[in-house]
Structures are given as structure tokens and as C-alpha cells.
């Protein structure tokens, strides 16, 4: 690859150590400023009237009674926003159509889900704003609704978008795909996407054994603890300032600019500390409403969602209906694999279908592959990315079928995967040929792991599953200044989504300079301070953020060498940088004492002025990530309750900059996967309203639900990162659902093809058996 930064093997001092986290004290003492902690002088409070119906025509809206309440200053509806043409623009890990986005921010002709914003109010207090909502009158014409993805695909299903015709996209590796004519009738199927490699029928004809199964998964919410919050202020001369908690303030800026018709330079977005996002904070919800209200009232407007609003109106992951068919020869070599993935995208098209379809079988080297995907609109909130968007849904099916194949062939489930594992040089069905990857290493380490060999007792079972995520780079920016005492201020555009990337970047910069990492202070810049920086998604934060931080450091180091050369009056090529010092390249240069970074910084004024380095780059060369997980469960056969006894994550990090943060990502991903497997689900009533809009009935695991998650960090360096870093955030959520279902099968003899494995479902199956 041309525009990449090469891996160099070298002795490391800082990288691989575990310094104390710089943002830790503020977070545990409550000083950290999250979205809702920001207040501006004179601010008003915004509140949103949301649709109580899953599907309804908005015939008229009357806000007069609300506006008559003393203290209520403004009310806006969809009419206050420009309508947008149907136009696809990449945002976050998904492609956004602004016609749809403007309607998702605030409804226009129809309400498309329970919780869809219809009116936004600004008032002098939160309680007045809430009271005002009760006086808004909307005349709805209630329409039939459709919640389930399979129902929504049926001919004759209630349509969300009367003008939606299925878009056909076909890809075939190595040759032209056959064409397929698009349906003539509108439907809820926004897109049909097909990937093909080899000859699927011929492949299955050579199979000794074929297993075909159907799977269902429920939408799950990212479950970030911090609700969406924003404060926006719009001045009389049209300058906009927005404080918001997001995974990418530059993307928020782009979306607001587009939706509100404001020049990018007039909007400044200031990121706050982020209380979790996991993909759910890549897109605007409140920001355009707060800006519009502020424009009208000439005061800052603060808006904070309640948990109820977060659940009803912000993106969960999609629900998936998945069919998987895999054929093997006698020895267990996979000869063909076929899948269909139907994904519910919510009220507007744009589920993570591309990601689900390309990650589906990619862990294995298979000659004949076909994956068909459908993107399906339903009366639910528009889905958002959620940690490895789409991949866990596909992997649940594939890894469950792999387990069944291993059983039928009497092969150890890890051995079956080892036999078929993708490796360096394997070409995927979507075209990419893998560079050096660490999948086989994770499988072999899993097989040898002590947790794979602990004897089990009655009602206990062990399951394994694997995960793959391609990882991404994209536009990334950073600016580094050497302070006059030789410490370093690094300003970055990549949001630390609470994983600790700020300190990982500090460690990489410190390693480059040869100084301690606590001499590097990392700040996230606002959008006026740096060039465009993509959202923290696709496991790119430490990888891409790291590369531009390293390049900025290298530029500053080069400048330090120039200053030393000036000081010593020698040519530049006679100065080297080593362990935090500029030194003469050899004894021939002269007997100069080495100059430390602090020495050079102190004299910077005399040698030409402040020393800095910056880097802006569309970062390439993200290293694919792979992992294997082993789960032991115990099933209470009288209640259907599944207890996770042991959970082991073995994953390739390329290089763990701060191993504790890598372990934290492995553990966090695994726990979210456990929630997805066991209890998390959206429960809708027959009326199409979401019933579990809080953490009491939407059950993410609590600490006592999970064991200590064991981790094993494999390090097969990414050839395109100076220290070998691969993204690691997403892979760990992919294997748990299948690993747990496979373990429950071993404990009960029952295969569960539908998530979650909640106690009523497990008990009913045990009782039936």
C-alpha cells in the first residue's frame, strides 16, 4: 500500500506499560464534564413532543396553547426546516440520506415510530418546557404499523415509504455479476445486496454434509449511560456554537450545516467528555433542534434526553432474520457457504447491511460463497451503529452452524475453525486479500488455554465462537506543540469514546520523543482548531489517531533536530534524535553535550520560535481484527436461568499500547455480547409502542451477572502502523451470542436459534424436551 506508514520493530520503553489513566480521577470524582454538565449563561431548556403512535399521518399541529404558557418562548416543527433531496452522503459507519435525516430529527408528513420527534419547545425552565408538551395538540390519522422484519418484507405489508423501490446491488468476485431486475412495486425492502464468489451450487454438490438453519435476533440498544445532551447558541450574526457529547464533533458539524443550510465555518462544535456511545452517537438528534430554537429565541438552548427518549428514539442495533447454509467435505473443509440476512433498519433505510454481509463468512477461507442481504424499513427508531454494526447478527448464525458441523463431523469446534481459517493471502468474497493477520494464533491459543480444558460439571456447557472486523482509518487530524518547559500539548480530532485513547496517543508520542508519557497532555480540539476528523468508529481511534499523532511528533522532532543543528552550527544530517535528546551523529561532529527536549524548548525563541508539528491524513492500512472466545455456562433447569461461569477473550490487537485498555475493550465487548445473548431485547406491545424504555426492563448485565472476563492479547503486528496497532474495539462483541448459545446447547442438548436466551424461553424449551 502506498499511502501507509510502515511498521518498524524496535525496543519499546513506554508502549506496553500501564500508566495511570489521566482522565480517571475526574471521572471517579464527578469532575468530568459530560454533555449534560455544560450550562451557558441565559440558557433556555428545550424539550421534545414525541409521537405516541408508531405510524400516523400528521394532519395538523397546534402549539398555541403551549406558547401561551408564561415562560414558553418558542415552538418549532418540521416546517421550520428546509426539506432535503434524497441524497446519500457517508456519515459515521453508515451512509446517510439527508431527506431521511431531516425527517428523523423532526417528523414532516408522517410519524414513523413511537417516540418520533414532532415539536420542539424552548422555555425558561425544564419543568415549564415539560408542562408545555402536554398542551401541544396534534391531529393524527393513525395508520397500521409493522414492527417485525419478516412481516415487513411480506407482499402487502404496511408501507412506511410509499415511494420506496428496492435498490438492487450485486457484486461478484472476479467477474461481472448477473443482473437482476428491480421489483416494480414499492416495498419496505429498501435494498437487496448480493455478494458472490465461485459457484455456490457446484460447491454444495460436493459437500458430504450440509447444515442449514434459520436465526432471529432482537434489536439491542448500545446502552450508553450518558443520555444525549447538547447546548447550542446561535448569535445575531449567524455564528453557531454547539456543545455536545458525540463520537465525532466534525461529523455533527457537517450534519448540522447541511440540515440547517449554514456554512461549515459558521458552526463550531465543542466536544464534551463522552459517557459511552458504541456507535449510537455518530449522528445528530437534538443538535439541529437546539440550534434552530436558539436562532429563534436569541439565547442558548440546552436539551437533554431522558432515558425513555434514548430508548424510544435513538438508534438501537437492527433486528436480524438470518438463514445460514454451510457445506463441508468429509474432513471438515468448507466447500460452500450461503446466507441471507434480513435486517430491520427502522423508520428509514440504512441498516449496517454492508458490514453484516461482508463479515458474515470472512473468518474462513471458502471457495464458493453467496451472501444476500435485505435492508428493511419498519416502524421503529432508525437503527444506528452498535459496536461492529451488523456483524454479531450474522456471526450468531454462522458460528452456531459451525458448532453443529463440528459436532456432526466429530471434530473439535476449534479444530474445525483452525482447518478453515482465513490467513495472510486469503482473498475474501468482497475482494480484499488479507495481509498478515492473527486469526490462527487466536484459535491455537484458545485450544491451548487452560480455560478450554477445565472439566465441567452437571448442567454446565462450553461453547466457542469467533469474530472478525475489517477496521478502518479515514480522515484524522492532530496538532502537537512543544511547550517552553519541554512538555507536550497534543490536540486531537479523534474523540476518546471513554476507552482511554487519549492516553494511548500520549504513550505513542512519548515513545517517539523518548520522554515519559505524563509529559504529554492530550486535549480534544473543537472543530475550529483542526481539520476534519472522522467519528470514532470502526475501531479506528487508537490506530488512526495514533498514526497522525506519531507523524505530528516526527515533524516536531525533525524541527528539534534543526534547532540543535543551529545551536551547534553543524549540518542537520549530523544530528540524531535518541531517547529524548538531540545528539551529535558521531564523535566526528564535535564534542557537544546532548540537548534534551527541555533544553531545546527553553531556547526555542532564540532558535526560530515555538516548535510544533501537525498531521492531517486519510489514514490507510487498518489491520483486520480477529478474535476467539470460550464461554462456560451453567443452566438452572428449573428456572431457565443461564449463568456465565467463565468467559475468555483471545484476540489479536496487533500491539497493545496500554494493555489494560485493550483488556478493558475485550471485557466490555464481551459483557455487551452477554447482554445481547441473555436478556436484552426491545419489547413492543400490539399497539406498536416500546414497553421497556428503561434499564429496569431493558436488562443490560450488571456487574454481578458476569464473571471476571479473562483475556489473552495476541500480538501479530499490523504492517501498516508504526507500532503494529490494529483496531480492537469491535471484535469482542461479535462472538459472545453464538459462544453462549453453543455452550447452552452443551449444557441442555437444546439449540437456541433465537435471541435472547432469556429464562422464559430457555425454560419453555427445557420443559418441552
Partner 1 sequence: MKRVKKMQYESPKSIDDAISLISNSPGNVRLLAGGTDLLVQMQSQVADPDLVIDIKNIKEMKEFKKEDGVYTVGAAVTGMEIIEHEEFGSDWPGVVDGVKLIGSIQIKGRASMGGNLCNASPAADSIPAMIASGASAVIAGPNGRREVLVEDFIKGPGKTSLKSNEILLSVKFPIKKPNSSGAYLRFTPRTEMDIAVVGVGINVTMSDSGICEEAKVSIGAVAEKALVVEDAATALVGNKITDEIIENFISKVRASARPINDKRGTVDFRIQVIGVIAKRALKMALERIR
Grid cell for residue 626: 480477529
Cell 485493550 sits on residue: 662
Q: Which helix (H) or strand (E) holds 598?
A: helix 597-602
Q: How far apart are CA 622 and CA 726, in angstroms?
A: 6
Pair 232, 300: CB distance under 8 Å = yes
Q: How far apart are CA 512 and CA 480, in angstroms?
A: 13
Residue 513 or 698: which CB sits closer to partner 1? 698
Q: Least Å distance between CB 709 and partner 1?
A: 16
DSSP line for 60-129: EEE-HHHHTSTTEEEEEEGGGS------EEEETTEEEEHHHHHHHHS-SSEE-STT-EEEEEEESSHHHH
Q: Least Å distance between CB 678 and partner 1?
A: 8
Q: Least Å distance between CB 685 and partner 1?
A: 8
Residue 241 or 309: which CB sits closer to partner 1? 309
Query: SS3 of 629, please?
Result: strand
Residue 246 or 693: which CB sits closer to partner 1? 693
Residue 266 or 761: which CB sits closer to partner 1? 761
Residue 295 or 647: which CB sits closer to partner 1? 647
Q: How far apart are CA 604 and CA 676, in angstroms?
A: 55
Q: Which helix (H) or strand (E) holds 488?
A: strand 488-492
| Edge-to-edge order in the sheet of strand 581-584 | 575-578, 581-584, 595-596
Q: Least Å distance between CB 71 and partner 1?
A: 7
Cell 420527534 sits on residue: 117
Q: Least Å distance between CB 759 and partner 1?
A: 6
Residues that bind partner 1 (CB under 8 A): 65, 68-71, 125, 127-128, 130-131, 135, 306, 308, 638-641, 678-679, 683, 691-692, 695-697, 699, 701-705, 758-760, 763-764, 767
Q: Least Å distance between CB 752 and partner 1?
A: 15
For the chain, how far is it from start to end, CA to CA, in angstroms? 56
Give the list of residues 6+ apart from residue 295 with CB closer than 8 angstroms, or none.
234
Residue 399 or 680: which CB sits closer to partner 1? 680
Q: Which residues of 373-407 are buried (b: 16+ CB within 10 A; e: fewer)?
A: bbbbbbbbbbbbbbbbbbbbbbbbbbbbbbbbbbb
Residue 549 or 674: which CB sits closer to partner 1? 674
Q: Least Å distance between CB 762 and partner 1?
A: 10
Residue 156 or 760: which CB sits closer to partner 1? 760
Residue 598 or 763: which CB sits closer to partner 1? 763
Pair 519, 488: CB distance under 8 Å = yes
Q: Least Å distance between CB 125 and partner 1?
A: 8
Q: Least Å distance between CB 137 and partner 1?
A: 14
Amino acid at each position: 500500500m502506498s499511502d501507509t506508514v510502515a511498521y518498524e520493530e524496535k525496543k519499546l520503553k513506554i508502549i506496553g506499560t500501564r500508566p495511570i489513566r489521566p482522565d480517571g480521577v475526574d471521572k471517579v470524582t464527578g469532575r468530568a464534564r459530560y454533555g449534560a454538565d455544560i450550562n451557558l449563561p441565559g440558557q433556555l431548556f428545550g424539550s421534545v413532543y414525541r409521537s405516541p403512535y408508531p405510524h400516523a399521518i400528521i394532519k395538523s399541529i397546534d402549539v398555541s396553547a403551549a406558547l401561551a404558557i408564561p415562560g414558553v418562548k418558542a415552538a418549532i416543527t418540521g416546517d421550520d426546516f428546509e426539506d432535503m433531496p434524497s441524497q446519500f452522503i457517508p456519515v459515521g459507519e453508515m451512509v446517510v440520506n439527508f431527506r431521511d435525516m431531516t425527517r428523523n430529527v423532526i417528523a414532516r408528513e408522517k410519524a414513523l415510530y413511537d417516540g418520533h420527534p414532532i415539536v420542539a419547545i424552548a422555555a425558561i425552565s425544564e419543568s415549564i418546557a415539560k408542562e408545555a408538551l402536554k398542551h401541544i395538540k396534534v391531529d393524527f390519522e393513525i395508520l397500521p404499523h409493522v414492527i417485525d422484519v419478516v412481516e415487513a418484507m411480506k407482499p402487502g405489508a404496511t408501507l412506511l415509504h410509499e415511494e420506496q423501490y428496492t435498490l438492487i446491488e450485486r457484486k461478484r468476485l472476479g467477474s461481472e455479476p448477473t443482473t437482476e431486475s428491480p421489483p416494480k412495486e414499492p416495498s419496505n425492502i429498501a435494498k437487496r445486496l448480493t455478494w458472490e464468489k465461485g459457484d455456490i451450487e457446484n460447491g454444495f454438490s460436493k459437500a458430504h454434509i450440509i447444515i442449514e438453519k434459520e436465526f432471529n435476533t432482537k434489536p439491542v440498544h448500545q446502552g450508553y449511560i450518558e443520555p444525549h445532551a447538547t447546548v447550542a447558541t446561535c448569535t445575531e450574526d449567524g455564528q453557531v456554537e454547539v456543545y455536545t457529547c458525540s463520537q465525532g464533533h466534525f461529523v455533527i458539524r457537517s450534519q448540522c450545516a447541511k440540515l440547517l443550510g449554514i456554512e461549515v465555518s459558521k458552526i463550531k462544535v465543542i466536544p464534551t467528555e463522552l459517557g459511552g456511545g458504541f456507535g449510537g452517537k455518530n449522528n445528530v438528534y437534538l443538535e439541529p433542534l437546539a440550534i434552530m430554537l436558539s436562532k429563534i429565541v436569541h439565547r442558548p438552548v440546552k436539551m437533554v434526553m431522558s432515558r425513555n427518549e434514548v430508548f424510544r428514539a435513538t438508534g438501537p442495533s437492527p433486528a436480524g432474520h438470518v438463514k445460514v447454509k454451510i457445506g463441508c467435505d468429509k474432513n471438515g473443509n468448507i466447500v460452500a457457504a450461503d446466507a441471507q440476512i434480513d435486517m430491520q433498519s427502522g423508520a428509514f433505510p440504512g441498516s449496517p447491511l454492508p458490514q453484516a454481509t461482508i463479515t458474515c463468512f470472512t473468518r474462513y477461507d471458502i471457495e464458493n460463497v453467496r451472501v444476500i442481504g435485505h435492508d428493511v424499513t419498519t416502524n421503529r427508531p432508525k437503527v444506528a451503529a452498535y459496536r461492529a454494526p451488523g456483524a454479531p447478527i450474522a456471526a450468531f448464525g454462522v458460528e452456531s452452524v459451525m458448532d453443529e458441523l463440528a459436532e456432526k463431523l466429530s471434530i473439535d469446534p476449534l479444530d474445525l475453525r483452525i482447518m478453515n481459517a482465513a490467513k495472510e493471502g486469503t482473498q475474501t468474497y468482497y475482494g480484499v486479500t488479507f495481509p498478515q493477520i492473527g486469526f490462527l494464533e487466536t484459535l491455537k491459543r484458545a485450544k491451548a488455554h487452560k480455560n478450554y480444558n477445565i472439566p465441567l460439571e452437571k448442567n454446565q456447557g462450553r461453547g466457542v465462537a469467533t469474530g472478525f472486523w475489517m477496521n478502518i482509518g479515514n480522515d484524522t487530524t492532530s496538532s502537537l506543540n512543544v511547550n517552553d518547559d519541554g512538555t507536550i500539548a497534543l490536540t486531537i480530532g479523534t474523540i476518546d469514546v471513554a476507552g482511554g485513547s487519549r492516553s494511548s496517543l500520549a504513550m505513542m508520542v512519548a515513545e517517539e520523543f523518548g520522554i515519559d508519557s505524563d509529559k504529554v497532555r492530550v486535549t480534544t480540539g473543537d472543530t475550529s482548531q483542526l481539520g476534519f476528523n472522522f467519528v470514532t468508529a470502526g475501531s479506528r481511534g487508537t490506530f488512526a489517531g495514533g498514526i497522525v499523532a506519531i507523524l505530528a511528533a516526527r515533524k516536531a522532532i525533525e524541527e528539534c533536530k534543526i534547532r540543535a543543528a543551529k545551536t551547534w552550527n553543524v549540518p542537520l544530517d549530523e544530528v540524531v534524535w535518541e531517547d529524548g535528546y538531540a545528539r551529535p551523529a558521531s564523535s566526528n561532529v564535535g564534542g557537544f553535550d546532548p540537548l534534551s527536549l527541555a533544553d531545546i524548548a527553553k531556547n526555542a525563541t532564540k532558535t526560530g520560535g515555538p516548535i510544533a508539528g501537525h498531521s492531517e491524513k486519510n489514514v490507510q492500512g487498518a489491520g483486520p481484527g480477529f478474535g476467539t472466545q470460550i464461554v462456560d455456562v451453567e443452566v438452572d433447569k428449573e428456572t431457565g436461568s443461564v449463568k456465565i461461569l467463565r468467559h475468555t477473550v483471545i484476540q489479536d490487537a496487533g500491539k497493545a499500547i496500554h494493555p489494560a485498555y485493550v483488556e478493558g475493550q475485550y471485557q466490555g465487548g464481551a459483557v455487551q455480547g452477554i447482554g445481547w445473548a441473555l436478556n436484552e431485547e426491545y419489547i413492543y406491545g400490539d399497539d406498536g409502542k416500546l414497553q421497556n424504555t428503561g434499564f429496569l426492563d431493558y436488562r443490560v448485565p450488571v456487574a454481578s451477572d458476569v464473571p471476571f472476563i479473562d483475556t489473552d492479547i495476541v500480538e501479530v503486528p499490523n504492517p501498516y502502523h508504526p507500532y503494529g496497532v490494529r483496531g480492537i474495539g469491535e471484535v469482542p462483541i461479535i462472538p459472545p451470542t453464538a459462544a453462549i448459545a453453543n455452550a447452552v446447547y452443551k449444557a441442555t442438548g437444546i439449540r437456541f436459534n433465537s435471541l435472547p436466551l432469556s429464562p422464559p424461553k430457555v425454560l419453555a424449551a427445557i420443559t418441552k424436551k
